[in-house]
Amino acid sequence: ADAPVIGLITKTETNPFFVKMKEGAAEAAKAKGAKLLSGAGKADGDNAGQITAIENMIAAGAKTILITPSDSKAIVPAIKKARALGVMVIALDSPTDPAEATDALFATDNYRAGVLIGQYAKAALGGKPAKIVMLDLFPGHPVGAQRHNGFLKGFGLAAPDAKSNELGKAPEIVCMADSFGDQAKGQTAMENCLQKAPEVTVVYTINEPAAAGAFNALKKAGKEQGAIIVSVDGGCQGIKDVGAGKIAATSQQYPLKMAAMGVEAGVEYAKSGKKVAGYTDTGVTLIAAKAVGGVDSKDVAAGTSLCWGKK
Amino acid sequence: MSTTTLSPPAVTTMRALHDKLPPLGTLGPLVALLAACVFFATQSDRFLTGANLSLVLQQVMVVGVIAIGQTLIILTAGIDLSCGMVMALGGIVMSKFATELGLPPALAIACGIAVTTLFGLINGLLVTRIKLPPFIVTLGTLNIAFAITQLYSNSQTVTELPPALTALGNTFTFAGTEVAWGALLMLALFGLAWFVLRETAAGRHVYAVGNNAEATRLVGIPTQRVLLGVYVIAGLFYGIASLLSVARTGVGDPNAGQTENLDAITAVVLGGTSLFGGRGVVLGTLVGALIVGVFRNGLTLMGVSSIYQVLVTGVLVILAVAADQLSRKGAR
Amino acid sequence: MSTTTLSPPAVTTMRALHDKLPPLGTLGPLVALLAACVFFATQSDRFLTGANLSLVLQQVMVVGVIAIGQTLIILTAGIDLSCGMVMALGGIVMSKFATELGLPPALAIACGIAVTTLFGLINGLLVTRIKLPPFIVTLGTLNIAFAITQLYSNSQTVTELPPALTALGNTFTFAGTEVAWGALLMLALFGLAWFVLRETAAGRHVYAVGNNAEATRLVGIPTQRVLLGVYVIAGLFYGIASLLSVARTGVGDPNAGQTENLDAITAVVLGGTSLFGGRGVVLGTLVGALIVGVFRNGLTLMGVSSIYQVLVTGVLVILAVAADQLSRKGAR
Amino acid sequence: MMMSAAPQIVMQAKGLVKRYGQVTALDGADFELRAGEILAVIGDNGAGKSTLIKALSGALVPDDGEIRLDGQPIRFKSPIDARRAGIETVYQDLAVAPAMTIAENLFLGRELRRDGLLGRVFRMLDKKRMLRLSIERMQDLKVGIRSMTQAVETLSGGQRQCVAVARAAAFAQHVVIMDEPTAALGVKEGNMVLELIRRVRDQGLPVVLISHNMPHVFEVADRIHVARLGKRAAVLDPKRVSMSDTVAVMTGALLPEDLPAGSLAH
Amino acid sequence: MMMSAAPQIVMQAKGLVKRYGQVTALDGADFELRAGEILAVIGDNGAGKSTLIKALSGALVPDDGEIRLDGQPIRFKSPIDARRAGIETVYQDLAVAPAMTIAENLFLGRELRRDGLLGRVFRMLDKKRMLRLSIERMQDLKVGIRSMTQAVETLSGGQRQCVAVARAAAFAQHVVIMDEPTAALGVKEGNMVLELIRRVRDQGLPVVLISHNMPHVFEVADRIHVARLGKRAAVLDPKRVSMSDTVAVMTGALLPEDLPAGSLAH
Ligand SMILES: Nc1ncnc2c1ncn2[C@@H]1O[C@H](COP(=O)(O)OP(=O)(O)OP(=O)(O)O)[C@@H](O)[C@H]1O
Ligand SMILES: Nc1ncnc2c1ncn2[C@@H]1O[C@H](COP(=O)(O)OP(=O)(O)OP(=O)(O)O)[C@@H](O)[C@H]1O
Ligand SMILES: [Mg+2]
Ligand SMILES: [Mg+2]
């Protein structure tokens, strides 16, 4: 029989997170003798691009599609169509809305990832006044909102719930700016925020490249000692930055694991026709160089050994 | 004496025949499209199926309809960077009006199209009245439309639409193949645009304005009105594209349209329309949109990984136009 | 008799004076920039500090240097969509060569710049030899450079660079303000480009080619060589921008440059250079880049939330150019 | 021209002023066109001839001064207004759309629609008829152009000129203005245009002819308007003034009042 | 022209062919330019005059035929080659850059650099000197242009023509070719250009003058090359042929062999 065809659709081509995910899937596919097709939106938020990728992969004979939805709601009708054609669809990294739209979900909870670093930042700050800079993704992105609101929640501030796409506000936030998850833009955003509010004690960043940019800006202003930077992702580079003291703590996720599990499920489906179902939390771990009281965290060594699901 | 200077009938007939053929500017992209199809057909036996080709048509219908409006604007030597964002705004307006405000679907659709047409009007007024460069105007409205879309939708996707809004995404069976009504609508709109541009005075005036605006004005054509009309009609097309986009995805998506800006311009230019205005054929734009769609579909069928797809697309875009150019040189 | 037709000295002096002033095309953007600065100064007392202004300069240095190359190309009536991606590739090449291959920093930098220059050369050859439209050519190389960047870097950021690669990000103190060397380099490059475009034959030929390519050819100027030269030099500028980008962020970032494409073109057009070629001043581009930087900085200082920033930017871009246009009408 | 009845004045302008920055192209120019005449406008390069007729044809709006058509004061805001008033103009920097065909250029802005439904409802152009009429029109001018469906940019300089002249002559209802229509034309074609100008006049339409070609001017003009330094220096009667005196007035070597008696037109 | 010594031939072409799609613009045209002469080229619109001189000036590469300069076969691949050989041309569709100033247009492609370091190392232009020379050059032509630093697009049609003519006359080393240089010029300016052409000739440079203005042609030409239907129909001697016979040959009404004896130039 032909090798089973499995499609993997990421949000973009370029985010190291998704590149890792693709690598994990490719390795697993090779090991299991499956053919992996990969596709992506042109940019984060490109729902139409993902729909096109789903259609083309089905046309190419894919029986299982793994997808990290760019837009949790907007992708649902296309997934419904695919499932109606007998294709098993598994969401990776983030759920669709409603979550039942896919057969299964292998993911991290982004809201929870935010909560963890929020708690850490609150504890690490101790008694100092909270003057928070929020370096978000870009307007309208659900993951951006989930991490942002989770952080506020963990920090003990009022925040919208996990489903909201609105960025929560609080008087403790002295500056909010978009980093586009990019180091150079993160740096620019942080520089401008420092002009607005020179006394910063906590910096929330959407991901580790943005955190690195924020650190650069702080360092240039000679303020890197005074502020705690927290972030999300737990990529190998990010963990290194935690070790180097640039980032205080980050919530680590496991894209390789998600992908490998997805491919295994796809091969199994091709063999036996058995579908997986339900939510499998691939877990979030808080990685911090210095543990603080009252918040569970693992150290850098543990983070490095696990970074992005390396086994 | 006049007969001696007129050319012999043989030459006249030859030339008449030559005039009947489409100009090479349209033929070149068509050859590139066919070549791509032949290539993909040899690589994957799934490519040349009716179902797959119908799929490609569905995938390009949104960009295709946007690109009609974009063609009109580029023919007048303008450019519209706002097209995708305006389209997204239209989609949000019609889906929110139909769900939250509970308007009847037809009215909600009309409101959405009215908003995109209004944006076309604003673009047009800024270009014609204050004489701003279209690039700047539409760069501005691009940002404005994006911001309004996000603010109005609160960045939330609008779901649970009434079926009337997504009807164009439904299919009918033709010769054993499922064809989407929206794809049919796109083809009809291309036909309409082609007819108007070619067979009516208004259409010829669009070319004239792009070709030599001052001469067109001196001849007594209200160039400003032609320009304004083009921007408004482009806005109307974006509104129809909004509806197609909503129908295709089944939701009102505030992040739609972000890649359509460049895609639409690419389709127009690949189709042989000059960015300097006055030269081009709208059917070339259809071919240009199809080239992009066929590449994406064919490469996926071949199992080319997506980053290599980008690489291959880059090379092929250049090759397609280069082949066209070189063949024209040969013909001279 | 010749004296009767020559104008009286008063008129001549007036005109000579008039010729000394920068053309309104440069003055307009400058006025817009100053107006923006005055506005922000009233809104935030931190705005007009030396440190903040020096910061803005640092933030625009990458886009600024790219935009110099882009200005050259747009002056010849071309356009370069690939600029940002080529810049990113250059940054990855120099940072990977310096770390993984362990080349001496100077050599690694040279290699990075060589790669971007090579891309310029490829763009130029396709435009001049095969006579492809610059839009298509650079759309192709945009994709190619992007794919190579991602593949070569494996989409991973390159870190732990030798200090020589980031030296331009360091600052020196001038009049109590920290100024980045890279910002100084950008200003120097603008000065150089301004001098060459204005005071040398090669520079005037760039204008002539964009203004009337056929006439320039007939006059005996090797237009193809001028064009090729412009694309190659633009590539060189992108290489320098790569170095600035690496120096600014301290890493080799495969995702750099993605918004710089449109930003650079925006800076050029905001600066008053015509997309139809042959008209414009490179210092206007600097002003255009600063306008974008000042808006972003000033709006953040005012605490405007990001989505409203997008809205305001859209409106202000239009207003800035409209004010320029209306003031020119008044002057006539 | 008959001297008896007071000649009817079709178009008249008084004190037209047009400035371009420091340059004053029109400096209080007067103008008068009578029914059924050919009025030649001559003058040095830069004397303001083209600017004058652009003001008369609505291509530009003068800074000052007044224009009357059939005695009524008018204000053309655009060439459309002038065209509606039946004024057709051949501009010096040929107003043609180079990428469009000759037939399309001839009918630009006055396209013919098909009869019946196709034309009324679908607004379809009658390309065949326009093509046929174009061929007739160009044969009138005896121009050897091979195909009316070729783009204007492929024509020789003189052939382009012919397209512009043919267009103006074919559609004028009231006044025809031609800015150096014979400048790029061969001897044969130039004579055809002069012939055409006479024919237009004989149909009762007055013609304004700007030309640097003195033999042409003296061959066809009923009166000669001499433009100089943005003003009207004199109006001469070609039957009573010599070519060399005309040139002398034009270049300023001779003042109009020093001309032999009777040189000035009435 | 002296008949005694065999005249020296500067430029010669045999059997030039140039096709544009179905249109054959040159159909085996011959050409001969002698040292120190003014050769007029005349012909109907579309006769192929402009195409001929474009082939001679490197602006286009003929499909067939041979060109010799001073007896040596040459192949101009671009206008640069022709310019290097000292050939300067005024094209009919004025080759000027409209947004650039008059001075810049005059010196386009032959800019003067400053003396000393500034020029040699920094390659700085000597704008002052170019401006001064431009003013002198234009005063030679007696053109009333107010400022050399104004953009060419602000000039009247005739003034633009003067810019192109001045440029060619100033820089030619070997041959000057002018395609209808007086077409848009006033009487005064036209005569200045004729005067200039004579002066160039008297300096020893041969001039090719394309013109539809027969009086001008007969005033200055040493020989007349008649182009017809893409070929050279005849070469006439203006001192021995009448203007009307010339026009008859040009339009095909008269065959060259039917001309009175001695009309043909040697
Ligand atoms: N758009 C413009 N901007 C600035 N100056 C202009 C403009 N148009 C014309 N002029 C100036 O106005 C004056 C009159 O120009 P106009 O074109 O009316 O002359 P003309 O009599 O038609 O000359 P010609 O016989 O050469 O065509 C000239 O000095 C010219 O330089
Ligand atoms: N680029 C072109 N494409 C197609 N046909 C052309 C082109 N250039 C010239 N022709 C044709 O070649 C023929 C000769 O043109 P050319 O310009 O040499 O004539 P000419 O003798 O200079 O006429 P004129 O006196 O009107 O300037 C004409 O019939 C013209 O239509
Ligand atoms: Mg004029
Ligand atoms: Mg010619």
pLDDT in tens, B206-251: 999 999 998 999 888 999 999 999 999 999 999 999 999 999 888 8
Q: SS3 sequence, B59-100?
A: HHHHHHHHHHHHHHHHHCCCCCCCHHHHHHHHHHHHHHHHHC
Query: In testing the pocket of ligand 1, which one of D51, D178, D250 has its CB within 8 Å of the most ligand atoms?
Result: D51
- Touching A (3+ Cβ pairs <8 A), the chains are B, C
Beta pairing partners, D34: D9
pLDDT at C19: 41
User: pLDDT tens digit string along E17-53?
Assistant: 999 888 899 999 999 999 999 999 999 988 999 999 9
pLDDT greater than 60 at residue D165 = yes
- Pairwise pLDDT comparison (D119 vs B134), residue with the higher score: B134
Domain span at residue C254 reads: 26-326
The answer to whether residue C106 is domain-embedded is yes
Output the six-digit token pair for A45. Answer: 């938020």
The phi and psi torsions of A174 (rounded to 5 degrees) equal -90, -20
DSSP letters spanning B161-225:
--HHHHGGG-EEEETTEEEEHHHHHHHHHHHHHHHHHHHSHHHHHHHHHHH-HHHHHHTT--HHH
pLDDT at B329: 56
Beta pairing partners, D208: D39, D177
Determine contact, residues A131/A172, Cβ cutoff 8 Å: yes
Output the six-digit token pair for A185. Answer: 């833009």
Taking the C-alpha atoms of residue C58 and residue E103, their distance in angstroms, rounded to an integer, is 40
Taking an 8 Å cut-off on Cβ atoms, the answer to whether D113 and B201 are in contact is: yes
Taking the C-alpha atoms of residue D57 and residue E127, their distance in angstroms, rounded to an integer, is 40
Phi/psi region, residue E262 (left: phi>0; alpha: psi -120 to 50; beta: rest), is left
> Would you mind telling me the total number of residues written for chain A in this entry?
311
The band of E5, judged by pLDDT with boundaries at 50, 70 and 90, is low
- Under DSSP, is residue D221 helix (H, G, I), strand (E, B) or coil? coil
CA-atom Rg of chain B in angstroms: 21
pLDDT greater than 50 at residue B23 = no
Q: List chain C residues with CB under 8 Å of B307.
A: 147, 150-151
The answer to whether residue B10 is domain-embedded is no
Count how many domains chain B has: 1
pLDDT greater than 60 at residue B132 = yes
Determine the average pLDDT of the residues in D145-164. Answer: 83
Beta pairing partners, D107: none
Calculate helix-pair angle for A236-243, A208-220, nearest 10 degrees: 30
- Under DSSP, is residue D23 helix (H, G, I), strand (E, B) or coil? strand
Q: Which residues of D63-75 are buried (b: 16+ CB within 10 A; e: fewer)?
A: eebebbbeeeeee
Q: Give D190→chain E minimum CA distance, Å.
A: 9
pLDDT at B7: 35
The band of A166, judged by pLDDT with boundaries at 50, 70 and 90, is confident
Q: Cβ atoms within 10 A of the Cβ of B108, count?
A: 25
Taking the C-alpha atoms of residue A121 and residue A153, their distance in angstroms, rounded to an integer, is 12
The answer to whether residue B167 is domain-embedded is yes
Against a cut of 0.90, is the pTM above it? no
The contacts of residue D117 (CB under 8 Å, 6+ apart) are none
The phi and psi torsions of D148 (rounded to 5 degrees) equal -75, -10
User: pLDDT tens digit string along A194-208?
Assistant: 988 889 999 999 999
∠D143-D148-D152 over CA atoms, to 5°? 85
Taking the C-alpha atoms of residue A211 and residue A204, their distance in angstroms, rounded to an integer, is 8
Instruction: Determine whether the shortest distance from the Cβ of E47 to ligand 2 is under 6 A.
Output: yes
Taking the C-alpha atoms of residue C180 and residue C165, their distance in angstroms, rounded to an integer, is 14
Taking the C-alpha atoms of residue D197 and residue D186, their distance in angstroms, rounded to an integer, is 16
**Residue type for position A266:** G
Determine the average pLDDT of the residues in C197-218. Answer: 93
Neighbours of ion ligand 3 (CB under 5 A): D 50, 92; E 156-157
The answer to whether residue C5 is domain-embedded is no
User: pLDDT tens digit string along D174-221?
Assistant: 999 999 888 888 888 888 889 888 988 988 899 999 999 999 999 999
Q: Give B222→chain A minimum CA distance, Å.
A: 39
Select from A121, B120, B215 the least CA-distant residue to D167.
Answer: B215
Contact pairs from chain B to chain D, CB under 8 Å: 99
Determine contact, residues A77/A102, Cβ cutoff 8 Å: no
Taking the C-alpha atoms of residue E96 and residue E107, their distance in angstroms, rounded to an integer, is 11
User: pLDDT tens digit string along C247-305?
Assistant: 998 889 888 888 888 889 889 988 989 888 898 999 999 999 999 899 888 988 888 87
The answer to whether residue C331 is domain-embedded is no
- Touching E (3+ Cβ pairs <8 A), the chains are B, C, D
The CATH number linked to C222 is 1.10.3470
By alpha-carbon position, which residue is closest to atom 1 of ligand 1? E154
Q: How close is the Cα of B308 to the center of ligand 2, in Å?
A: 49
Determine the average pLDDT of the residues in E83-108. Answer: 88
pLDDT at D64: 95
ipTM score over 0.85, yes or no: no
**Residue type for position D26:** L
Sign of CA dihedral C278, C283, C284, C289: positive
The answer to whether residue B13 is domain-embedded is no
Output the six-digit token pair for D78. Answer: 């655009």
Taking an 8 Å cut-off on Cβ atoms, the answer to whether C14 and D22 are in contact is: yes
pLDDT at C195: 95
Q: Give C301→chain A minimum CA distance, Å.
A: 5
Instruction: Determine whether the shortest distance from the Cβ of E72 to ligand 2 is under 6 A.
Output: no
The contacts of residue A1 (CB under 8 Å, 6+ apart) are none
pLDDT at C101: 94
pLDDT greater than 80 at residue C26 = no
The band of E207, judged by pLDDT with boundaries at 50, 70 and 90, is very high
Smallest-distance ligand from the CA of D18: 1
The phi and psi torsions of E163 (rounded to 5 degrees) equal -60, -45
pLDDT at B330: 46
pLDDT at B327: 66
Q: List chain D residues with CB under 8 Å of C14.
A: 22
pLDDT at C322: 81
By alpha-carbon position, which residue is closest to atom 3 of ligand 2? D154
The phi and psi torsions of E23 (rounded to 5 degrees) equal -85, 125
∠A186-A189-A191 over CA atoms, to 5°? 105
- Under DSSP, is residue C160 helix (H, G, I), strand (E, B) or coil? coil
- E186 contact C CB<8A: no
The answer to whether residue C255 is domain-embedded is yes
Determine the average pLDDT of the residues in A218-224. Answer: 89
∠D235-D240-D245 over CA atoms, to 5°? 70
pLDDT at B175: 83
pLDDT at A94: 83
By alpha-carbon position, which residue is closest to atom 19 of ligand 2? E46
The phi and psi torsions of A9 (rounded to 5 degrees) equal -120, 115
Give me the residue label for tokens 């729902």: A47
The answer to whether residue B86 is domain-embedded is yes
pLDDT at B300: 84
Q: List chain E residues with CB under 8 Å of C221.
A: 80, 108-109
- Of all residues in chain C, the one with the smallest CA distance to E144 is C5
User: pLDDT tens digit string along A222-265?
Assistant: 898 989 999 999 888 899 999 999 999 999 988 888 888 999 99
Taking the C-alpha atoms of residue B45 and residue B33, their distance in angstroms, rounded to an integer, is 18
Taking an 8 Å cut-off on Cβ atoms, the answer to whether B15 and E22 are in contact is: yes
pLDDT greater than 50 at residue B10 = no
Which ligand 2 atom is the nearest neighbour of the CA of E21?
Answer: 4
pLDDT at C204: 95
E181 preceded by a cis bond (ω within 30 of 0) = no
Determine contact, residues C254/C157, Cβ cutoff 8 Å: yes
Percent of chain B with pLDDT over 70: 90
CA dist C25 → C29, C30, C196, C200 (Å) = 7, 9, 19, 21
Rounded to a whole number, what is the distance in angstroms from the first to the last CA of chain C?
31
Phi/psi region, residue E93 (left: phi>0; alpha: psi -120 to 50; beta: rest), is beta
Q: How close is the Cα of D205 to the center of ligand 1, in Å?
A: 27
Q: How close is the Cα of E153 to the center of ligand 1, in Å?
A: 10
Select from D198, D143, D147 the least CA-distant residue to D166.
Answer: D143
CA-atom Rg of chain D in angstroms: 19
- Pairwise pLDDT comparison (B78 vs B28), residue with the higher score: B78
∠A154-A155-A156 over CA atoms, to 5°? 90
Taking the C-alpha atoms of residue C259 and residue A185, their distance in angstroms, rounded to an integer, is 10
Mean pLDDT of chain C: 87
User: pLDDT tens digit string along A105-140?
Assistant: 998 888 999 999 999 999 999 889 999 999 998 777
Q: Cβ atoms within 10 A of the Cβ of D218, count?
A: 16
pLDDT at D172: 84
Q: SS3 sequence, C274-312?
A: CCCCCCCCHHHHHHHHHHHHHHHHHHHHCCCCHHHHHHH
Percent of chain C with pLDDT over 70: 90
Output the six-digit token pair for E47. Answer: 């006769």
The band of A310, judged by pLDDT with boundaries at 50, 70 and 90, is low
Interface of C with E in 290-319 (CB under 8 A): none
User: pLDDT tens digit string along E222-243?
Assistant: 999 999 999 999 999 999 999 9
Q: Cβ atoms within 10 A of the Cβ of D183, count?
A: 25
Q: Give B320→chain C minimum CA distance, Å.
A: 10
Taking an 8 Å cut-off on Cβ atoms, the answer to whether C321 and B133 are in contact is: yes
Determine the average pLDDT of the residues in C168-185. Answer: 90
